Amino acid sequence: MKMIKWLFINRSIRTKIVWSSVLISLIPMLVLSYLFYESSTKSLERTMYRSTNQNAQYVAGYLNQYFRDLSSSALQVYGFARVMNLMEHGRSANDEDYFAVTDSLKNYYTLVSNKNRDAVIKIMIFGKDNRLRDYWSRAASYDSIPFDESIPHYGDMLDLPFQQSLSFTYTDAVLNQDFFVFSITIYDPFYRSKVGSLVFYIQKKELAKVIEANNQAPNVVVLRNSRGETFYHTNDSYADLVPTFPVPDAQLKNKPKLIQFVQRSDLLVGTSYLDNGNLTLTIVYPNEELARHRDNTLLITIGAFVFAMLCISLLSLLAQQYITRPIKQLGQAIKRVRHGDFHVALDQPNRYRDDISELTRNFNFMTEKIRELIEQGYQMQLRNKEAQLLALQMQINPHFLYNTLQTIGGKAVLIGDYDIPEMCRSLGELFRYSFYEGNTESTLGQELAHVGNYVYIQQFRFEDSLQIEFDVPQNLMDAPIIRFVMQPIIENAAVHALRGPDDRQLLIRVQAEARNGEIVLSVRDNGPGIPPEKLAALRGGLEAKSMEVFAGVSIGLKNVHERIRLAYGDPYGLTVDSKPGEGTEIRIRIPYRKRGESHA
């Protein structure tokens, strides 16, 4: 815990990011490295097992075939009746039978020699009484090989059980040579009575050639006979690791081709049973290669782990630049805002959508909003100043104007002129609406009534050239709206459409509808329209914010547009569409709410 505090507390965010990446990656990398090492070593072990298994099967199969040839050549004696008779009854005095037996023996010796590739150097045939009946030697020197108590198993090698053989090696003291001896007792196959015994001599070096030709260094081959005695081994380096059995294992007899592997001291020991020689074959596989592969795999795993952690650390250092640099820039920008600089803005690439970019966009939005609020407050102060100036200029008592207009209207009635009283009434209503000292908000119905009074007065000027139609639902009449929105637009249409020399009749249609929480007012005329370049300039002038003080009460479309936006926000205001020769349409968008509700 103290180590974690030391790594993270009072550290920069850059250092925290790097340490966090390293620590978060450390445990998974350790687990992955361990799994990689284990799986690699297990795979190597399985590969080694398969390889040694195949090699052991091959060696066992070849040696089993070798001893099969040896035992089958001995059992070929059953095909030589005279030799069998010789072993059971001895030689006959009959000369004819003597030569026949001699020919049979010669043929048998030739068969054994050829079948074993001239490896057998001496064959001895014994009778049922264990007396020597005949022998054959490949060379005269081998005739002197003694058969006495100096030979291992001299007392029992001629009386072996049925279908059993005995193999062993020894060093002959007379010839000073190592011999491999194969002995088998021949029985009557029907009565299982002993007929005689056969003893084959093979030079031990010839047996070694056969074994080592099918073995691969540094593997060690060990052969044990039916008595559990080791009669051949490549070397005695692993003598203490080779399992010993008093007799060949019964399970191995039932499964003669079964190779069993046991790992001991980095060794693989495989044992199988050679049924044709009553032998047990053990192959010892030194496991230096597997140990070397394990060490190499361990080094590769450690190297890969260190390399991965270095890459993670470097990538963390690079990645933190994309995190800490924007945060530092944001901190510097906040300091500038704190000192009153609200025009600061941070770069925000549009292709990025991460948290830092979102934070940057929100900061830019905040500073822009602050600037807008400041500008709106400043503009509102300007408007208030203008209103105060206008109020100073209009210090004439409105009631004096109303009373004067009523007096003029009364005099006109007395002389029989009824148009003048209506004009006075309309003008009085205009003054009353204009000089109203309450709030700046009215209703749509009152605004349209004010427009009607204005048009009525203008019709005395333009006579039949000016007509107006209203198509406004009754349920919208009580909708709140700021004052003096419609009258400047109607005035603008009348002034620009009727100032030409042609005698055209101007028809103005005022419509209103509510949709999606808004009221859309449409003022459409059939005047000459606005040329495209002037229309573009007009639209640009509406969108451009003005910091100038208003010069009068009715200053036109821009006045109305900016007052709507100041009152309701940027989504609302005026839009202008016009086609030359077809007329002009001005749409006014304001929020739709009930009287007394405030706009959010």
pLDDT for 234 equals 82
**What percent of the chain lies above the pLDDT cut of 90?**
17
SS3 state at 166: strand
554-596 pLDDT per residue, tens: 357 888 888 888 888 888 999 999 998 889 999 999 999 876 5
Confidence of residue 292 (pLDDT cuts 50, 70, 90): confident
Query: Within the chain, which residue ranges are assigned CATH 3.30.565.10?
Result: 376-591
Are 258 and 202 in contact by the 8 Å Cβ rule? The answer is: no
Are 220 and 238 in contact by the 8 Å Cβ rule? The answer is: yes
Confidence of residue 67 (pLDDT cuts 50, 70, 90): confident
SS3 state at 507: strand
Are 215 and 233 in contact by the 8 Å Cβ rule? The answer is: no
Total count of residues recorded for the chain: 600
Region 268-284 average pLDDT? 77
Query: Within the chain, which residue ranges are assigned CATH 3.30.450?
Result: 80-214
Distance, in Å, from the CA atom of 222 to the CA atom of 168, rounded to the nearest integer, reads 12
Name the more confident of 221 and 257.
221
pLDDT for 25 equals 75
121-149 pLDDT per residue, tens: 999 999 999 999 999 999 888 988 889 88
> Tokens 């509808």 appear where?
513
Question: For 376-591, CATH number?
Answer: 3.30.565.10
Region 66-80 average pLDDT? 88
pLDDT for 323 equals 67
**Radius of gyration (Cα) for the chain, nearest Å?**
61
Question: Could you write out the three-class secondary structure of 121-160?
Answer: EEEEEEECCCCEEEEEECCHHHHHCCCCCCCCCCCCCCCC
Distance, in Å, from the CA atom of 164 to the CA atom of 226, rounded to the nearest integer, reads 8
Region 452-481 average pLDDT? 87
Distance, in Å, from the CA atom of 577 to the CA atom of 579, rounded to the nearest integer, reads 7
Distance, in Å, from the CA atom of 230 to the CA atom of 134, rounded to the nearest integer, reads 30
Confidence of residue 290 (pLDDT cuts 50, 70, 90): low
166-203 pLDDT per residue, tens: 999 999 888 889 999 999 999 998 888 999 999 999 99
Question: For 80-214, CATH number?
Answer: 3.30.450
Q: Judge whether residue 341 has pLDDT over 50.
A: yes
What tokens does 111 get?
Answer: 């068969």
Distance, in Å, from the CA atom of 11 to the CA atom of 342, rounded to the nearest integer, reads 31
Q: Specify the pTM.
A: 0.47
382-440 pLDDT per residue, tens: 665 665 555 444 444 555 566 666 677 776 767 777 677 777 777 777 777 766 655 56
